[in-house]
Amino acid sequence: MEEHAFASATRLAGEIRDRRIGCLELLDFFVARAERYNPALNAIVAWQVDKAREGARAADAALARGEIWGPLHGVPMTVKESFNVAGLPSTWGSPAYRSNIPADNAVLVDRLLAAGAVIYGKTNVPLMLQDAQSYNEVYGTTNNPWDAARGPGGSSGGEGAALAAGLGALGAGSDIAGSLRNPAHYCGIFAHKPTWGLIPTRGHSAGALLAPTDISVVGPMARDAQDLELAMRILAGPDLLAAPAWRVEFQPPRRRRLADFRVAVCTESPLCEIDGSVADLFARAVTALKSAGAAVDETARPPMEDAEHQRLFMLLLRAATASRMSDEDFAAQQTIASTLSPDDTSSRAAVARGATLHHRAWGTANEARTRLRYGWRDFFQRFDVLLTPVAATAAFAHDHNPDRDARTVLVNGKPRLYHEQLFWAGLASLSYLPATAAPLGLTAGGLPAGCQIIGAEGEDPTTIEFARLLAAEIGGFTPPPAYA
């Protein structure tokens, strides 16, 4: 059975359909691994094992009758704690929502269940999903399976840790500023940030908000890029209000061979220097791409100057997350904003400016973003994908300093501001672009690091296919030694 711990969801679904393994048998295998390994990880924080076993037994019975519910029939998995799962807490890591037990599932959860998945648990998040680590007062701290002294990323960090440790076959998380991508990078797995609006976010909201949040998306996490493609086919499509009018029909990937890809590579910015250990992995990947025949351009630049892009991203990001604030928190941000110096570039200042943005100013910013989206359209006429870092370093040590402006990350031996890490994520997030995070290998220090593969708006299959081909060329997921 141990060979199933790190198998792809696609392979496991095939073995179930071929009756080579039972649904309940596979669920019990993953639950046993979770019971063994989760105490040290604290990745899974809410459980519904009995309900999952009922579902697995029903899946086995359906197979015996010749029925297959969908492409994930009987496949065990977990989802991020922030998704509504009927009967399980959805706290977003906040004591204020400790007693929030939804009666209904998120749209994403319902679509996974309709495809046959068996969801047995939910995974940890940071407070209100707003950190690159995953710790909170409700559930405690999640550790990285490669090194328990380090974090797994956030805000989908529990999901990243669970997948890397082999506690389930597939995962689901969310992303507004790297929350799918940085856990994939820090834990050595794959994740996909979809084009904004492709997958409904209803049921992924603290306080039961119905309106979609600008920039925010939900998407799949996996140990194999092929599973991302499978999950996107299951999850993409309109919600109830738009369902009568349109549906998603993905175009095939632009290319099917690395040799045919036109690849832009951008690894340098004065706003977020990357560590030499990550740069070395990028250099190895670029060499492999060139050897495979890809057309690689290392001089290409995004269509907006870095500092202006980051200013616009932070403004619209913090405007988007303001809807989650309580009246008291919003009043506090108004007070802070009224006292800010124009040259204050702190994280605190960015939150206050965005949260209190007047609608006319938001409209002006959105116009600038829309022009940028057309700039990206032109960019992706010349290139098929853009490769960038996900973050500056491999996984960093736990840092729970409540003053985030005082937090730093060591890059090339120098302390750099913690919030600089948002820069690379913002390249895709601001303009609603699809981005697939894929592993590049292990640093000299033995920690995983990955890349971000950005593509044209709506062309999600292209970035996922590139991730699959890249993994075939340089290697993909590697199990953490302590869990293999």
Catalytic residue IDs: 80, 155, 179
The alpha carbons of the chain give a radius of gyration, in whole angstroms, of 21
Beta strands in 333-442 (DSSP E): 385-389, 408-411, 414-417, 435-442
- Output the CA torsion 219→223→224→230 (10° steps): -40
Q: How far is CA 319 from CA 57, 118, 357, 408, in A?
A: 46, 36, 7, 25
Angle at 466 between CA 462 and CA 472, to 5 degrees: 150
Look-up: residue for tokens 């100057």?
305
CA dist 396 and 179 (Å) reads: 16
DSSP classification of residue 433 = -
- Output the CA torsion 67→70→73→78 (10° steps): -150
Q: How far is CA 398 from CA 144, 149, 237, 324, in A?
A: 10, 6, 38, 26
Q: Judge whether 422 and 271 are in contact, CB under 8 Å.
A: no
